[in-house]
């Protein structure tokens, strides 16, 4: 590339005054006048500038601007800048590659009339790429997961490259007319450990549902606490307990009273009951009893046996009675929960009546709320009571979450908290575009593509984590533009993308097994149906690498689009090029480029394509050159980048290249000399 | 205070705590009788005697040694718990294991210690236990009052309530309630009961006059006049008392308790005075 620039370089003009471009920059109208002047000259026909060495300036055919100054002075002997006009004619005659006919420079120039790039609307639109764009749009329109498109482009760099930006703009333009994508919401619908369910919502309704649903959960908990603590509810529970007592204690009391009336004492032992004859409230001693008449003794024994039998029946009924009591408590609390959930979720059910996933999920949560509430009360009723300071008496029904219950200590617990829904994090940050989503992935990695699970604190457990969206989440229902070179460099990223495309699902990665961030109970969230098209933008080498590495690649990227690396230097393409320069200026925050500066850059671009009236679209070197020229313009205190600055940039590059070459040559010669000496 | 722990019956932790509370209030020491019911050992001598339980519904023979061991273990557990509570409250406590009929053991102990004893029972408050209060007062002559504690529901944290049905008893009941309230830092509420509206109105007037100006003492009717034990019990429950002082044989604590009365609704300790 350095040799190439060496060829492009012209001698710098003698410093006879301020740079004509500076003058143009300082007074744009003057620059415009110069252009007009150039136009006046150019209107007489193709312009031939007489260089010092008689070179024909390639810009003569451009018609952009002509002051003749720097071209004339810049040309030097030995420049290989061809007489492009003559070359073009020759080429056309000899049937060489088709080039645009010699432009009507006057017309062309009038169409592109401007003083600096600031007068132009910047654009990333690449000239002459209609076929490539059509190929991309074809791939986007095709159904199926395997009609993805690989866009080969010269000089494609990372984010910010002009070509990549242009492709992104094509995709965005296409996506704008597509329907907006569905939204996905994650939530668990049963007691943990449980996987996060993926719920589908129409565009923009998922977030609304999350807000309203979580609010409903909080409302449910608040109302449930109030109801459970109310006198009315306590009275109902007491009634159940009373019925139990009547069934057991009263039965025992009654039996005791009856036994007493029969002069039989029922005594409690540590492990059961014993019966004995009684007199005057005291148990009769065995020896005294033995002295009583046999018939009396037999009668007493019979009575004791009856009482024993009855006692056994009462004791046998106790477990059943206790079970019934517990069930009645659960039923009571279930009724309460259902009444509350009917109130709390009614609005939500109405608002999302047309969303099947929402209806199903709410129904599941209503069941959870009913049984969870009942379970919570069930634990309370058997535990040794203790109050947390200022807190309600609550025991957690979710031991898997380590939330109360086991140790009998009360905790103030929002027991429905694990059931809160969420949209994948970072989806919120994606600009709400019109149409389908488009996501630009610059550094693809597996988690970047498929998302991951995180937890607010501690490790991710089943149902306790939150999904951080990957690119596939964000682009689901739309399109991804991905850096193909990056994809090729990260096999895991490619594998993750391939897996997602082939399965048609997004599976979120859990933290690594055995890591501190992952508990044994962690469960993968439910996969989400994936509908996405991939536009991979990269070099031909990247494509070749991916195809070599994995035969599946070609099967999944059936469409190829080629960004032409050079286009004809027509007025239209020149104008497009000028706007591209404008976008480079914007992207890199450069000084505006004068018309002459743009023309010089055009010359460089033409020379890069080997001349023949074609300009190279390998814009990274052009961008770099523009940036270096900006440096020189600023150093000279100019307000715009002129052709002289471009020249300066070229010259200094050559100098640096020359110095490096000389150093290399010297070291090489030194090595040869030393080897010779040794020999 | 004489605490009778029957080693064959379940021991209520709240009953132990109530015992210590009362002892602390009256700067008394606790004489704890660890009673192995002699009658159980007598029953073991019967040839036909069997122990019946939910685990052994067909009954099994009474193993005296096992019985004695079980009761000794129960006694040790109760002793440990009570010692800890007494230590925390700085209440002296003496333990005396013995084998006798429970009521007789209490009566003998009260007689030996002289008059003005409060007796505490370790069994949880129940209708059956409450029904025996009259018999207890009859047989344990040295007893001025008996302490029982309920194991139902949550620990109550309301005021100490003195239930007054007779104006003549106001001063004593109020002073008792105040002593108990001082230990726990609660307020005192005088709950009044009367058979008729007129009596209730008079009683309320007199009581309010008597306690006027006393800080932390409040007066409230306990249910409607003539409402009976059930109404009074429910009204008392709503106050959520942390301790109740009441006289035996009145409207709140009739001689024969019925469903819905105090034993069924009370969640706090109860000091029944003669």
- Residues A288-298: tens digit of each pLDDT: 898 999 999 99
Up-side HSE of residue A339: CA atoms within 13 Å toward CB? 10
Q: Which of B51, B58, B135 minimises the CB distance to A274?
A: B51
Residues on chain A touching B71 (C-beta within 8 angstroms): 270
| pLDDT at residue number B57 | 72
Q: What is the mean pLDDT of residues A80-109?
A: 38
| Contact across the interface for B39 and A287, Cβ inside 8 Å | no
Q: Which of B8, B58, B154 minimises the CB distance to A269?
A: B8
The larger pLDDT score, comparing residue A394 to residue A159, is at A159
Residues A530 and A581 in one domain: no
Which range, A228-232, A347-351, B42-46, has the best average confidence (pLDDT)? A347-351
Residues on chain A touching B8 (C-beta within 8 angstroms): 267-270
Is pLDDT above 70 for A538?
yes
- Please check whether residue A242 lies inside any domain of the structure: yes
Close Cβ partners of A315 (under 8 Å, ≥ 6 residues apart): B52, B53, B54, B57
Q: Which of B46, B70, B238 minimises the CB distance to A276?
A: B46
| pLDDT at residue number A556 | 95
Q: How confident is the model at residue A674 (pLDDT cuts 50, 70, 90)?
A: low
Please give the Cα distance from B36 to A292 (Å, whole number). Answer: 27
Out of A260-274, A654-668, B150-164, B207-221, pick the least confident: A654-668
Q: What is the mean pLDDT of residues A544-553?
A: 91
Close Cβ partners of A57 (under 8 Å, ≥ 6 residues apart): A48, A49, A51, A71, A72, A75, A81
Last residue within a domain, chosen from A531, A563, A595: A563
| pLDDT at residue number A669 | 57
Residues A239 and A387 in one domain: yes
Last residue within a domain, chosen from A503, A536, A563: A563
Up-side HSE of residue B182: CA atoms within 13 Å toward CB? 12
Q: Return the percentage of chain A with pLDDT > 90, whole number.
A: 29
Residues A497 and A400 in one domain: no
Q: How confident is the model at residue B247 (pLDDT cuts 50, 70, 90)?
A: very high
Kind of pairing between the strands at A528-529 and A505-506: antiparallel
Residues A521 and A539 in one domain: yes
Nearest CA-CA distance, residue B198 and chain A, Å: 30
| pLDDT at residue number B216 | 86
The H or E element that residue B271 is part of is strand B269-273
Please give the Cα distance from B261 to B60 (Å, whole number). Answer: 37
Q: Which of B9, B127, B154 minimises the CB distance to A385?
A: B154
| pLDDT at residue number A139 | 95
Q: How confident is the model at residue B200 (pLDDT cuts 50, 70, 90)?
A: very high
Residues spanned by the domain of A486: 129-187+441-563
Q: How confident is the model at residue A103 (pLDDT cuts 50, 70, 90)?
A: very low
Residues A13 and A144 in one domain: no
Q: How confident is the model at residue A457 (pLDDT cuts 50, 70, 90)?
A: low
Please give the Cα distance from A319 to B266 (Å, whole number). Answer: 25
Q: What would the pLDDT profile of A459-489 be if each residue is shown by its tens digit?
A: 455 456 788 889 999 999 999 999 998 888 8
Residues A179 and A225 in one domain: no
Residues on chain A touching B7 (C-beta within 8 angstroms): 270
Residues A605 and A487 in one domain: no
Is pLDDT above 50 for A116?
yes
The total number of residues shown for chain B amounts to: 274
Is pLDDT above 90 for A153?
no
Please give the Cα distance from A140 to A15 (Å, whole number). Answer: 55
Residues on chain A touching B74 (C-beta within 8 angstroms): 270
Q: How confident is the model at residue A73 (pLDDT cuts 50, 70, 90)?
A: very low
| pLDDT at residue number A618 | 79
Nearest alpha carbon to residue A216 among A330, A333, A352, A393: A352
Residues A356 and A492 in one domain: no
Residues on chain B touching A283 (C-beta within 8 angstroms): 39, 42-43
Residues A226 and A365 in one domain: yes
Residues A226 and A362 in one domain: yes
Out of A153-162, A529-538, B184-193, pick the least confident: A153-162
Phi, psi of A496 (to 5 degrees): -65, -45
Please give the Cα distance from B166 to B173 (Å, whole number). Answer: 10
The larger pLDDT score, comparing residue A35 to residue B98, is at B98
The H or E element that residue A213 is part of is helix A206-229
Q: What is the mean pLDDT of chain A?
A: 75
Q: Which residue of B has its CA nearest to A290?
A: B46
| Contact across the interface for A286 and B259, Cβ inside 8 Å | no
Tokens of B62: 């009474």
In 3-state terms chain A splits into helix, strand, coil percentages (rounded to 5) of 55, 10, 35
| Contact across the interface for A269 and B74, Cβ inside 8 Å | no
User: CA separation (Å) from A290 to A110, A273, A278, A295, B47?
Assistant: 138, 22, 13, 12, 10
Q: How confident is the model at residue B50 (pLDDT cuts 50, 70, 90)?
A: confident
- Which class is domain B160-273? alpha beta
Residues A316 and A280: beta-carbon distance below 8 Å: no
Residues on chain A touching B260 (C-beta within 8 angstroms): 242
| pLDDT at residue number A621 | 87
Kind of pairing between the strands at A264-268 and A197-201: unpaired
Residues A515 and A556 in one domain: yes
> Tokens 């494509």 belong to which residue?
A543
Fold of B2-148: Rossmann fold (3.40.50)
Residues on chain B touching A256 (C-beta within 8 angstroms): 128
| pLDDT at residue number A392 | 34
| pLDDT at residue number A39 | 26
| Contact across the interface for B42 and A238, Cβ inside 8 Å | no
Beta bridge partners of A147: A557
Nearest CA-CA distance, residue A222 and chain B, Å: 21
The larger pLDDT score, comparing residue A533 to residue A102, is at A533
Residues A170 and A262 in one domain: no
| pLDDT at residue number A459 | 47
Q: What would the pLDDT profile of A129-144 be if each residue is shown by its tens digit?
A: 889 999 999 999 998 8
Reduced to 3 states, what is the DSSP secondary structure of residue A440?
A: strand
Q: How confident is the model at residue B84 (pLDDT cuts 50, 70, 90)?
A: very high
Nearest alpha carbon to residue A528 among A259, A200, A207, A65: A200
The larger pLDDT score, comparing residue B89 to residue A666, is at B89
Q: How confident is the model at residue A409 (pLDDT cuts 50, 70, 90)?
A: very low
| Contact across the interface for B51 and A271, Cβ inside 8 Å | yes
Please measure the distance between the N-terminal and C-terminal CA atoms of chain A and give it in whole angstroms: 37
Phi, psi of B6 (to 5 degrees): -85, 115
Q: What would the pLDDT profile of A307-316 be if each residue is shown by its tens digit?
A: 998 998 888 8
- Please check whether residue A425 lies inside any domain of the structure: no
Helix and strand numbers (H, E) in chain B are 10, 11
Out of A70-84, A109-123, A319-333, A606-620, pick the least confident: A70-84
Please give the Cα distance from B257 to B255 (Å, whole number). Answer: 6
Nearest alpha carbon to residue A60 among A86, A79, A78, A91: A86
Out of A35-49, A633-647, B59-73, B203-217, pick the least confident: A35-49
| pLDDT at residue number B263 | 82
CB atoms closer than 10 angstroms to residue A518? 18
Is pLDDT above 50 for A554?
yes
Is pLDDT above 70 for A17?
no
Q: Which of A241, A274, A311 minimises the CB distance to B40?
A: A274
| pLDDT at residue number A670 | 56
Is pLDDT above 60 for A97?
no
Q: Is A456 exposed, middle or buried (0-12, 13-18, 19+ CB in 10 A)?
A: exposed
Q: Which residue of B has its CA nearest to A392?
A: B154
| pLDDT at residue number A632 | 95
Q: How confident is the model at residue A37 (pLDDT cuts 50, 70, 90)?
A: very low
Q: What single-letter DSSP state applies at residue B96?
A: E
Residues on chain A touching B70 (C-beta within 8 angstroms): 269-271
| Contact across the interface for A256 and B57, Cβ inside 8 Å | no
Q: What single-letter DSSP state applies at residue A52?
A: T
Is pLDDT above 60 for A78?
no
Residues A66 and A49: beta-carbon distance below 8 Å: yes
Nearest CA-CA distance, residue B202 and chain A, Å: 31
- Judged by phi (left if over 0) then psi (alpha if -120 to 50, else beta), residue A591 lies in beta
Q: What is the mean pLDDT of residues A408-426?
A: 65
| Contact across the interface for A282 and B127, Cβ inside 8 Å | no
The larger pLDDT score, comparing residue A540 to residue A626, is at A626
Helices (H), A246-278: 251-261
| pLDDT at residue number B14 | 93
Is pLDDT above 90 for B229?
no
Cβ contacts from A onto B, under 8 A? 106
Q: Which residue of A has its CA nearest to B130?
A: A253
Q: What would the pLDDT profile of A234-285 be if each residue is shown by its tens digit?
A: 888 878 887 787 777 778 888 888 998 999 999 988 888 999 998 887 888 8
Q: Where in chain B is the domain with CATH 3.40.50.620?
A: 2-148, 160-273
Residues B61 and B33: beta-carbon distance below 8 Å: no
Q: What is the CATH number of the domain that holds A537?
A: 3.40.50.300
Total structural domains within chain A = 3
Nearest alpha carbon to residue A505 among A459, A549, A473, A547: A473
Residues on chain A touching B58 (C-beta within 8 angstroms): 312
Please give the Cα distance from B127 to A234 (Å, whole number). Answer: 21
- Please check whether residue A310 lies inside any domain of the structure: no
Residues on chain A touching B55 (C-beta within 8 angstroms): 271-272
Q: What single-letter DSSP state applies at residue A247?
A: I
Out of B67-81, B112-126, B191-205, pick the least confident: B112-126
| Contact across the interface for B55 and A250, Cβ inside 8 Å | no
Q: How confident is the model at residue A666 (pLDDT cuts 50, 70, 90)?
A: low
Cis peptide preceding A500, ω within 30 of 0: no
The larger pLDDT score, comparing residue A670 to residue B17, is at B17
Interface predicted TM-score (ipTM): 0.83
Last residue within a domain, chosen from A563, A588, A616: A563
């Amino acid at each position: 590339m350095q040799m190439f620039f060496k060829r492009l370089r012209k001698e710098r003009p003698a410093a006879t005054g301020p740079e004509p471009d500076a003058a143009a920059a300082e007074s744009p109208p003057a620059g415009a006048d110069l252009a007009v002047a150039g136009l006046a000259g150019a209107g007489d026909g193709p312009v031939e500038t007489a260089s010092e060495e008689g070179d024909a300036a390639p810009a003569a055919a451009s018609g952009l601007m002509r002051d003749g100054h720097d071209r004339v002075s810049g040309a030097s002997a030995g420049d290989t800048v061809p007489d492009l006009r003559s070359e073009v004619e020759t080429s056309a005659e000899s049937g060489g590659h088709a080039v645009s006919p010699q432009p009507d420079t006057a017309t062309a120039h009038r169409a592109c009339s401007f003083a600096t790039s600031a007068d132009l609307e910047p654009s990333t639109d690449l000239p002459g790429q209609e076929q490539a764009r059509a190929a991309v749009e074809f791939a986007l329109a095709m159904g199926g997961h395997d009609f993805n498109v690989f866009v080969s482009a010269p000089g494609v760099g990372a984010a910010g490259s002009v070509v990549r930006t242009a492709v992104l703009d094509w995709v965005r333009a296409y996506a704008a007319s597509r329907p907006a994508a569905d939204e996905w919401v994650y939530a668990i619908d049963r007691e943990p450990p449980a996987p996060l369910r993926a719920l589908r919502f129409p565009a923009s309704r998922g977030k609304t549902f999350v807000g309203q649903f979580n609010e409903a959960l909080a409302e449910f908990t608040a109302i449930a606490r109030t109801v459970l603590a109310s006198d009315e509810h306590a009275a109902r529970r007491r009634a159940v307990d009373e019925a139990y007592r009547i069934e057991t204690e009263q039965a025992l009391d009654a039996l005791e009273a009856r036994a007493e009336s029969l002069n039989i004492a029922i005594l409690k032992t540590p492990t059961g009951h014993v019966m004995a004859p009684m007199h005057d409230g005291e148990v009769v001693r065995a020896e005294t009893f033995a002295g009583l008449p046999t018939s009396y003794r037999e009668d007493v024994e019979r009575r004791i046996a009856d009482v024993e039998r009855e006692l056994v029946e009462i004791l046998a009924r106790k477990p059943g009675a206790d079970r019934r009591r517990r069930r009645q408590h659960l039923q009571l609390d279930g009724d309460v929960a259902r009444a509350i959930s009917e109130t709390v979720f009614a609005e939500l059910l109405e608002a999302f009546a047309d969303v099947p996933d929402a209806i199903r999920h709410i129904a599941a949560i209503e069941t959870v709320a009913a049984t969870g509430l009942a379970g919570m009360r069930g634990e309370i009723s058997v535990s040794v009571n203790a109050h947390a300071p200022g807190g309600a008496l609550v025991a957690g029904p979710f031991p898997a979450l380590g939330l109360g219950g086991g140790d009998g200590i009360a905790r103030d617990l929002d027991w429905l908290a694990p059931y809160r829904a969420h949209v994948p994090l970072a989806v919120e940050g994606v600009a709400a575009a019109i149409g389908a989503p488009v996501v630009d992935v610059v550094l693809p990695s597996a988690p970047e593509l498929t998302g991951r699970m995180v937890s607010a604190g501690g490790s991710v457990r089943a149902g306790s984590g939150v999904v951080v969206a990957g690119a596939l989440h964000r682009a689901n229902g739309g399109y991804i533009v991905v850096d193909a070179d990056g994809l090729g460099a990260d096999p895991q990223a490619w594998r993750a993308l391939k897996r997602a495309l082939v399965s048609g699902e997004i599976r979120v990665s859990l933290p690594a097994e055995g890591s501190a961030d992952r508990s044994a109970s962690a469960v993968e969230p439910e996969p989400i149906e994936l509908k996405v098209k991939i536009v991979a933008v990269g070099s031909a080498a990247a494509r070749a690498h991916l195809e070599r590495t994995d035969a599946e690649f070609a099967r999944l990227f059936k469409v190829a689009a080629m960004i032409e690396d050079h286009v004809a230097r027509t007025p239209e393409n020149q104008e497009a090029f000028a706007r591209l320069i404008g976008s480079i200026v914007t992207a890199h925050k450069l000084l505006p480029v004068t018309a002459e500066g743009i023309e010089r850059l055009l010359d460089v671009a033409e020379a890069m394509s080997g001349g023949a009236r074609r300009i190279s679209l390998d814009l990274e070197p052009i961008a770099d050159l523009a940036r270096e020229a900006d440096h020189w313009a600023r150093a000279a205190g100019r307000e715009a980048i002129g052709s002289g600055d471009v020249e300066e940039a070229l010259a200094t590059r050559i100098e640096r290249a020359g110095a490096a070459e000389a150093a290399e040559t010297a070291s090489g010669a030194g090595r040869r000399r030393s080897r010779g000496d040794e020999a | 205070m004489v605490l009778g722990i029957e080693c064959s019956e379940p021991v209520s932790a709240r009953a132990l705590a109530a015992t210590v509370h009362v002892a602390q209030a009256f700067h008394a020491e606790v004489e704890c009788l660890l009673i192995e019911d002699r009658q159980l050992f007598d029953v073991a001598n019967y040839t036909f005697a069997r122990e019946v339980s939910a685990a052994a519904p067909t009954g099994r023979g009474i193993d005296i040694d096992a019985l004695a061991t079980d009761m000794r273990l129960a006694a040790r557990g109760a002793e440990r718990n009570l010692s800890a509570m007494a230590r925390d409250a700085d209440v002296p406590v003496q333990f005396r294991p013995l084998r006798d009929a429970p009521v007789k053991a209490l009566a003998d102990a009260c007689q030996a210690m002289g008059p003005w004893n409060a007796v505490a029972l370790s069994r949880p408050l129940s209708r059956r236990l409450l029904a025996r209060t009259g018999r207890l007062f009859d047989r344990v002559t040295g007893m001025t009052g008996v302490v029982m504690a309920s194991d139902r529901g949550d620990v109550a944290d309301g005021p100490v309530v003195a239930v007054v049905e007779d104006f003549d008893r106001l001063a004593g009941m109020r002073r008792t309630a105040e002593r108990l309230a001082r230990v726990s830092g609660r307020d005192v509420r005088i709950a009044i009961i009367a058979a008729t509206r007129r009596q209730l109105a008079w009683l309320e007037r007199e009581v309010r006059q008597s306690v006027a100006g006393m800080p932390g003492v409040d007066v409230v009717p306990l249910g409607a006049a003539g409402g009976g034990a059930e109404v009074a019990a429910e009204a008392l429950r709503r106050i959520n008392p942390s301790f109740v002082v009441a006289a035996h044989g009145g409207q709140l604590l009739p001689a024969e308790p019925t469903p819905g009365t105090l034993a069924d609704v009370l969640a706090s300790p109860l000091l029944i005075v003669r």
